Amino acid sequence: MSSATLFKDDAAIASGEHFFEQVNRMFDKAARFTDHPQGLLNQIKICNSVYHMEFPVKRDDGSIEVVQAFRAEHSQHKSPTKGGIRYAINVSEDEVMALAALMTYKCAVVDVPFGGAKGGIKINRNEWSEAELERITRRYTFELTRKNFIGPGVDVPAPDYGTGPQEMAWILDTYNQLTSYPLDALACVTGKPVGQGGVRGRTEATGLGTFFGVREACNNAADMQKLGLETGIEGKTVVVQGLGNVGYHAAKYFEEGGAVLVGVSEIEGAIYDPNGLTLQKVLDHRKETGSILDYPGAQNLATGTDVLELPCDILIPAALEGVITRENAPRVQAKIVGEAANGPVTADADEILNERGVLVIPDVYLNAGGVTVSYFEWLRNLSHVRHGRMSKRFEAKSAERILSAVTKMTDTEMEQDEFSRLVADVAVGASEQDLVNSGLEDTMSYAYNEIREIARTHDTDMRTAAFVDAINKIAVSYLQMGIFP
């Protein structure tokens, strides 16, 4: 078990408050800035459906082990519901309910027309073989199908902590064997391999979305002035907790954007170098030695959570929930905390950070890159057309005509070979990944400025503003249904 997980569990015991209660505290704080009737607010807040299952799995040695699993559907104000599946030993009903609720609000913030859901299987995947994991995944999918908790228009899972494209491919194959409606079966799950209906750009989407969101914040001169920082990403020091899929890609894009990576953590511990770390060299070192520790020139930290208290401009918690609590929040030195993970900052810690003037960019907005690109994948599966396929050549020819017109209007002399190369560069048209990344960037930029304006209007923090935004949008959906006249 990681140190982050231990820290989260200790914090939960100390606070006596469950994760779902933490999310609802944040909801209630934001609800005070709205004028919706209490009955409607109660409906938005509750978790509509939770399926707790236990099923036997035959291990490779022939023994039988019973596995616990969950699927929570928080809100059906939009259909289908959407949310990842995690494989972790600390998975619980409370956790999936909380994560499903966050997913509901997240989708509303970035205007993705899904309700929120979340699933989990209570295992340590490192203790199971690939064949055993396949049996677990397929049985889980069977249970979801039998209870109508999966389907292109019902509930669409995706990868989360401990899962990836392989598990999604197993889910698709199993669902496809069980469904009576195979035409749109590809859309029953997202995060699939590209060859099985996945979309290019999904793997890095959450990390890239995190980068886009923090970059949008850093480009606001007034906000940066309040923090005593220069505008822009370049030159800012960054610490990333967790180098899984999300943390790795966030660190990669910050590094490419000119930021200086000074600290990282993984399960085995954390390292710090105020002069800067090179991400790929850190990963190469871990591959060679089995650990990021003892990286040349870097300082080893006592525990993985110590990385949260390092001096830096931007802190990116990209592991599990509840790692910044009321105990360590006063020691956080970052000026910007970007929540790449779900719920890394507890409600108490959030208040402390806000009082200290730290800009907390909330998970309910910042890690929405994954579901945004999952939406693009879902659309692709339902339309049965790759993004850009019908328009790519038209766009390429248009670009070529524009380039030719510009050279004539400016009387530009250009060697034929140079002109041909330039035309070839321009005329290739946008790839699917270009279109996906463009859509993600626009989504994250628009949503940030929308919630920032709400925060300014109500003189509140960004998390509360994001919840206000989500509550208002969800309330409109319920009112349009005629449920609350």
Distance between alpha carbon 110 and the CA centroid of its chain, in Å?
12
Peptide bond into 80 cis (omega under 30): yes
Q: Please give the structure tokens belonging to residue 475.
A: 């309330």
User: Among residues 315, 245, 225, 311, which one has the least CA distance to residue 274?
Assistant: 311
Q: How far is it, in rounded angstroms, from Cα 265 to Cα 262?
A: 11
The reply to whether 118 belongs to the active site is: yes
Dihedral over Cα of 282, 201, 370, 467: its sign: positive
| Active-site pick, 29, 82, 106, 118 | 118
- Give the residue numbers marked as catalytic: 118
